Structure 1
Amino acid sequence: MADQTPQDVSSEKAVPVKRLWYRTTLFNAFVIGAVGFIAPGLWNAMNQLGAGGAQRPYLVNAANALVFGILGFMCIFGAPIANRIGLSWTLFFGAVGYPVYSAGLYLNNRYGVEWLVLVGAVACGFSAGLFWASEGAIALGYPEPGKRGRYLNIWLWFRTGGPLVGGAIVLALNNDASAKKKGKVSYTTYLVFTILQTLGAPIALLLSPPEKVQRADGSKVIIKAEETFKAELQALWKTSTRKDILLLLPIFWAAYFNQYSGNFQTYYFGVRARALIGFTSNFGTLLSSQLMSTLLDYKGIPVKKRIVWGFYYAVVLHIVAWVYGWVVQEKYTANPPAYDWEDKGFVEGYFVLLLWDFARQGLQNWLYYLVSTKTDNISELTRFSGILRGQESFGQAISFGLNTREWVGGRVPLAVNTILLGLAVYPTWLVVRDHVPVEEKNNENSITPNAELESDVEKTADASAVILPEEKVKFASAETNVARDTV
């Protein structure tokens, strides 16, 4: 169908130009990082308190189930939207709903108002769906392939820095002796968060469009945008039904299914202990991100081997975290505690939450890296990251829904999550085993150039692509390979 032919906006620069600091990949990494810091970062800070800092987790869990149910659909369909309106505006609309959600928690905490919690959940769900559909593609598609791990880590450091700073704010406002017992955090906490989150949308407008990004090596971001929205939906459907994507669905679901950690905090810890956990657990998350990203970006190991080693590392982390979690949970089921940070048994329960977050962060880094090595086209990468985050969100929605009930000892949500993780290992391994990273495909194709490929280069050049002479064969090989693999 002629109206569905992709438009290629990809090439190498023919003439060196002076780089503008606000067009560099580093500046754009800071933009996406700052929005992630303010919007989902502070949102995570609230939820790391356990149930958004509420005294009882059930209303907030219901609201979060609503958030992630909407978010799941919006992540998936956000890719066609992002490819039509642009990543900058997608990121802008992806940040506007977060302060509405925080305002709902503020009114509920201070005055007992419930309706704005649910309205805020709807607004946050639509907004967050667009945010996640664009954020992963920007973080992974803007930098050159050899720096993906580094820039992925910058993005995640910023996004984890949100809960870190937010946790410090919460701890500063909820650390007196009256907060030793179970209860809810100070309403001032939500007021501060709401004000800070209103800054996210204006910062998003500083993002450069993909075609204007200036990489350090002079290469351009590859864009193969569909000409119509209908064609975008068809491309999304084809991507969603790929065998490798279908095999990854179980791990997409299992990766973020553990929302029982919020209930675990409200059940067994006082307010200021939860505030301390919300602050300090982020250091473990940052360390986990750094370790996995260092492995995935290590140039001394082939890309495929990094992915395989990262897979085994993530599996071992989850085995350790979940075995320890089950042991402690069974102990607490028999004799439920209510720990303050001064109590003797506090560290034991704290390490359950620390290990869960540590394992989850390592798995998330690995998953995004794996997906990013499937394509060098940012339009397709937007679809991949949208599907990944969308399916994770469906898992989170069901998990939050599951945790609206007060299960005895937490056995039901823990058992469901454990089973999901176990079922996800083999299909994920099949994807890893058969995966050929796009960098390795391009390298293979660039080794044996031929006349047919050179002819393709000339055709591409006639179609207005500008290519460095010494890069013609390599670029043509990459384009031929991408076209063959896109379904």
Structure 2
Amino acid sequence: MADLVPAKVPTITTTVADPVLPFDEPIKPVKRTCYRTTLFNAFVIGAVGFIAPGLWNAMNSLGAGGAQSPYLVNAANALVFGLMGFLCLFGGPIANRIGLNKTLLLGAVGYPIYSAGLYCNNRYGNVWLVLVGAVTCGLSAGLFWASEGAVALGYPEPGKRGRYMNIWLWFRTGGPILGGAIVLGLNSDVGAKTKGKVGYQTYLVFIALQCLAVPIALLLSPPEKVQRADGSRVVVRAEKSFKAEFYALWQVTKRKEILLLLPVFRAAYSNQYSGTLQTYYFGVRARALIGFVSNFGTLLSSQIISTLLDYKGFTVKKRITIGYYYVVVIHIIAWVYGWVIQEKYTRTKPVFDWVDKGFVEGFFVLLLWQFAQQALQNWLYYFLSTSTDNSSELARFSGVLRGQESFAQAVSFGFNTSGQAGECRWRSTLFCWSSNTKHSTWSMTDSSRSYCCRAYLASDEEPCTSRDREVPGSS
């Protein structure tokens, strides 16, 4: 890589009102057009996330996308996340070349095709469209997350980034809640008490809603046209080639602290376990109820960890440390409880409806997993956001995070594409998680000393002396 010269690296940067020197002209608020404001664009990115990946998550929270057998859908999801991993890593250069609004548009088109594949498989037994939908969804999802991260972090005024990140989070979680309510309403009759698949009408509703994401994506303003309340601008520096961006990405991925942190990104490995467990041990309407209610656990988990990470009584370094061990503890609780229940189910092989006595204990396995995973994701984003005040570098960190999560899920779903006496790959999942814990502990210890903002992390005072250093959730 010695011949690669880091030329002018494309990025979205922000201009902020620094302390005014005698020769500086202060930035003055300007009259703005409604659809060019940062708040409007936050709602656009949130709305696309609500009905595209949000409803996709709602389908998968049913277990196996609502199918009777998990293996085809697990194979499709392995394909989705494998492609998504590559597009997350390399989506930044694409977005910089064709524009964020076009990238967001392309990031929305694949989701309804995926849902259409599940519909055809559910009603007609079609297989090939499921795999085609998985390919288009994987490509779209990678582009969506590339553009979404740049908009969420780069568009808002520095003093409002935390507030707009919260808007994005609630929109993204609202999609699965709406989708879960739709699924529950369409699959709550007595005939859905036993194992099976959801009604095909469920997918028709999802397809119709996900198609709306495409025209909504067209409402996103290009960064150079965004109008902030303080009059500052979102500046786009033109790119001459992909070469410089790939070089910068390579520089990020080979940093010691990033390499040590990579294993913890694989905590999403457990997703195949929770989905497959539902198809084995719960009836259709029980799965629908779980898919709806578990999203409230996700919101509660996010609120708890965000409150902890925003607590002003601790330094940033201490918040990160306490938050990390909090995440480890709740993962241990989820693992131990889940292992006990899994061993019990392996022996007895039950099938639960929501009125059955054993439903709640099985439901809590899935609820605890959702709770633990959301806490980890919030902690990771917070941890990475304190590593730099350079929005371009932060976007690369986020791309590495999303890419590694996607690769981990591709592996996890790939492991469960065929039957194995009705058992989930529990022990292999546990091994990966325990390895993650060890390496991420080293990373956290090392990163607290060596990140480029180490003075920012180690300060005993409130560290946000620069408006650009505000971390998500601090508003």
TM-score (norm 1): 0.85
* 1:161-200 to 2 correspondences below 5 Å: 161-200=174-213
C-alpha distance in 1 between matches for 2:261 and 2:223 = 28
Q: What is the letter of the counterpart of residue 8 of structure 2?
A: T
Cα distance, 1:136 vs structure 2: 2.4
- Structure 1's 225 and 264: CA in aligned 2 closer, same or farther, altered over 3 A? farther
C-alpha distance in 1 between matches for 2:315 and 2:237 = 27
1:302 aligns with 2:332: no
- Structure 1's 378 and 425: CA in aligned 2 closer, same or farther, altered over 3 A? closer
* 1:91-170 to 2 correspondences below 5 Å: 91-145=104-158, 147-170=160-183
More displaced 10-residue stretch of structure 1: 11-20 or 389-398: 11-20
Q: Equivalent residue for 1:44?
A: 57
* 1:216-365 to 2 correspondences below 5 Å: 216-221=229-234, 226-365=239-378
C-alpha distance in 2 between matches for 1:37 and 1:297 = 25
- Structure 1's 215 and 375: CA in aligned 2 closer, same or farther, altered over 3 A? farther
C-alpha distance in 2 between matches for 1:65 and 1:260 = 13
- Structure 1's 12 and 136: CA in aligned 2 closer, same or farther, altered over 3 A? closer
Q: What is the letter of the counterpart of residue 430 of structure 1?
A: T
Cα distance, 1:373 vs structure 2: 2.4
Q: Deviations over 1:74-124 (max 9, x none)?
A: 110101111222222211111110000000000000000100000000000
Q: Deviations over 1:20-55 (max 9, x none)?
A: 443333322221111111111100111011000000
Cα distance, 1:139 vs structure 2: 2.1
More displaced 10-residue stretch of structure 1: 316-325 or 419-428: 419-428
More displaced 10-residue stretch of structure 1: 345-354 or 205-214: 205-214
Q: Deviations over 1:427-455 (max 9, x none)?
A: 332354226575965999xxxxxxxxxxx
Instruction: Describe the SS at the equivalent of 1:96.
Output: helix
Query: Would you say the 8 A contact 2:267–2:373 is kept in 1?
Result: no
Q: Equivalent residue for 1:456?
A: none
1:73 aligns with 2:86: yes
- Structure 1 residue corresponding to 2:398, chosen from 365, 368, 385: 385
Cα distance, 1:241 vs structure 2: 1.3
C-alpha distance in 1 between matches for 2:458 and 2:35 = 31
The size of the alignment, in residue pairs, is 449
Q: Equivalent residue for 1:419?
A: 434
- Structure 1's 340 and 435: CA in aligned 2 closer, same or farther, altered over 3 A? farther
Q: Deviations over 1:346-365 (max 9, x none)?
A: 00000000000001011111
Instruction: Describe the SS at the equivalent of 1:36.
Output: helix
Query: Would you say the 8 A contact 1:221–1:377 is kept in 2?
Result: no
Q: What is the letter of the counterpart of residue 152 of structure 1?
A: M
Cα distance, 1:374 vs structure 2: 2.5
1:5 aligns with 2:8: yes
C-alpha distance in 1 between matches for 2:344 and 2:429 = 14
Instruction: Describe the SS at the equivalent of 2:377.
Output: helix
- Structure 1's 289 and 16: CA in aligned 2 closer, same or farther, altered over 3 A? same
TM-score (norm 2): 0.87
- Structure 1's 311 and 144: CA in aligned 2 closer, same or farther, altered over 3 A? farther
C-alpha distance in 1 between matches for 2:165 and 2:306 = 7
Instruction: Describe the SS at the equivalent of 1:32.
Output: helix
C-alpha distance in 1 between matches for 2:386 and 2:237 = 17
Query: Would you say the 8 A contact 2:260–2:440 is kept in 1?
Result: no
Cα distance, 1:133 vs structure 2: 1.6
C-alpha distance in 2 between matches for 1:3 and 1:263 = 46
Q: What is the letter of the counterpart of residue 355 of structure 1?
A: L
Q: Deviations over 1:166-223 (max 9, x none)?
A: 0000001101111000000000001110111011122122223334444455554476
C-alpha distance in 1 between matches for 2:100 and 2:453 = 23
* 1:207-218 to 2 correspondences below 5 Å: 207-218=220-231
Instruction: Describe the SS at the equivalent of 1:4.
Output: coil
C-alpha distance in 2 between matches for 1:125 and 1:197 = 15
Q: What is the letter of the counterpart of residue 395 of structure 1?
A: A
Q: Deviations over 1:210-242 (max 9, x none)?
A: 344444555544766654211111111112212
- Structure 1's 474 and 223: CA in aligned 2 closer, same or farther, altered over 3 A? farther
C-alpha distance in 1 between matches for 2:434 and 2:454 = 34
Cα distance, 1:309 vs structure 2: 2.5
Q: Equivalent residue for 1:17?
A: 30
- Structure 1's 418 and 374: CA in aligned 2 closer, same or farther, altered over 3 A? closer
Which structure 1 segments of 5+ residues have no match? 445-472, 480-487
Query: Would you say the 8 A contact 1:106–1:190 is kept in 2?
Result: yes
Query: Would you say the 8 A contact 1:23–1:213 is kept in 2?
Result: yes
Q: RMSD between aligned alpha carbons?
A: 2.7
C-alpha distance in 2 between matches for 1:148 and 1:424 = 30
- Structure 1's 226 and 285: CA in aligned 2 closer, same or farther, altered over 3 A? same
More displaced 10-residue stretch of structure 1: 117-126 or 321-330: 321-330
Instruction: Describe the SS at the equivalent of 1:375.
Output: coil
- Structure 1's 405 and 272: CA in aligned 2 closer, same or farther, altered over 3 A? same
Cα distance, 1:405 vs structure 2: 3.0
C-alpha distance in 2 between matches for 1:203 and 1:439 = 40
Q: Equivalent residue for 1:429?
A: 444
C-alpha distance in 1 between matches for 2:184 and 2:407 = 31
C-alpha distance in 2 between matches for 1:38 and 1:435 = 40
Q: What is the letter of the counterpart of residue 405 of structure 1?
A: S
Query: Would you say the 8 A contact 2:88–2:143 is kept in 1?
Result: yes
